[in-house]
Amino acid sequence: MSIFDTSPPLINKDILFKWIYKNYDFLDSNIINSIKLNSERDYNLKITTNNNKNFVIKISNPYENINTLTLQDSMLEYLSNSSVSKYIPIISHKDIKKFTDLKNRECFVRILSFLKGDIFAHHQGNDQLCKNLSIFLGNLSKSLLNFDHSAAHRKFIWNSINIEWIEEDLEIFPEKIKRNLIKKVIKSYLKYVKPKLSNIRYSVIHGDANNYNILCSKNKIVGLLDYGDSIYAPTICELTVALAYALMNTDDIIQKCNYMVKSYHSIFQLNKDEIELIMILIMTRLSITVTMASKQKLKYPDNEYLSISENDAWDLLFKFDNIIYSDFTNNLLNVCNYEK
């Protein structure tokens, strides 16, 4: 069993609030409003207190490893002293506690500050906002370059360089054209990415800067949510994961990718090998997205959030399939002032 095979915590709010009042002094009988937030595998609840403060109660999947949660807290604490500190949730709990859900399963509980902002997905057609996202991610990569944690060095299904497992699940797609496309992505990964993995930088990355984990206000990025996919991986994956979602519903993906890569590169300079991996790493992330969406919605058909990006991911994958890798990559090298 894993966190992806286990249903999220089943919670009764009244029981939860009584437990919270008993275990957290700063929330003693103060909750006046609560809203359940979307989550792939956990139970997240926004609460408002009678002094108008907002927090997020994060109740982890019963199969979540405590070490993964300490990684998240360590990462948040580390980033609180970095150039991106104002975009990061503040840890409100003193330690990680256990709560028993309605299925009698023990779940770890953490409490973070609530970040205000609009969901990036509703504004990703804004070019300036996308440039600012890349600048933010460049600063995030720079901030995390020297951070490490033992729990980040784990095998993880969402890791963009952990794609070969998908081949075992191809039959989940009834359409042959989709199966063949995923096969092509895997072949491209083996040809273009795998041989270069020893030539690029690695670090702990957030790993899930999708369009529903980024908060914005007007043309500015104001927050980054959900650190549950943090992992030690190629640093460039911080950018390519974001690109996989930011390029959705975009007419000219080449132009948009150009200015987003250029903006990231202006803050966190990429080497040639990293740039040469960008297109295929975007496609590997999209392949994982559509595969996981298909698998998870079979298990949890009532959770629409699990497949919220599925159709857009397929559309973008097919767009990339019509682009010549060498042309796309040479264009990016030129944008970043490298010779072809």
CA–CA dist 219, 73 (Å, integer)? 29
Identify whether 126 is part of a domain.
Answer: yes
**What one-character DSSP code corresponds to residue 165?**
G
The SS3 assignment for 112 reads: strand
In a domain, residue 73? The reply is: yes
Q: Write down how long the chain is.
A: 340
Domain endpoint, select from 68, 90, 113: 113
| 199 shares a domain with 71 | no
Instruction: Report the C-alpha gap between 62 and 68 in whole angstroms.
Output: 13
* Residue 37 lies inside a defined structural domain of this protein: yes
179 is in which domain, residue-wise? Answer: 118-335
Residues 72 and 85 in one domain: yes
Q: Which of 79, 113, 147 is the last residue of a domain?
A: 113
Q: How far is CA 184 from CA 192, 274, 319, in A?
A: 12, 21, 14
Regarding whether 243 and 189 lie in a shared domain, the answer is: yes
Q: Do 78 and 122 sit in the same domain of this protein?
A: no
Rounded to an integer, what is the distance from CA 149 to the centroid of its chain? 18
CATH number at residue 96: 3.30.200.20
The model carries a pTM of: 0.95
Angle at 102 (CA atoms; ends 98, 104), nearest 5 degrees: 60
From CA 4, how far away is CA 299, in angstroms rounded?
10
Question: What whole-number distance in Å separates Cα of residue 233 and Cα of residue 162?
Answer: 10
Cα angle 19-23-28, degrees, rounded to a multiple of 5: 85
Query: Over its length of 340 residues, how does the chain's per-residue pLDDT go in tens digits?
Result: 688 889 999 999 999 999 999 999 888 778 999 999 988 899 999 999 998 899 999 999 999 999 999 999 999 999 999 999 999 999 999 999 999 999 999 999 999 999 999 999 999 889 999 999 999 999 999 999 999 999 999 999 999 999 989 998 999 999 999 999 999 999 999 999 999 999 999 999 999 999 999 999 989 999 999 999 999 999 999 999 999 999 999 999 999 999 999 999 999 999 999 999 999 999 999 999 999 999 888 877 777 776 788 999 999 999 999 999 999 999 999 999 997 6
> What's the domain count of the chain?
2
Same domain? For 76 and 41 the reply is yes
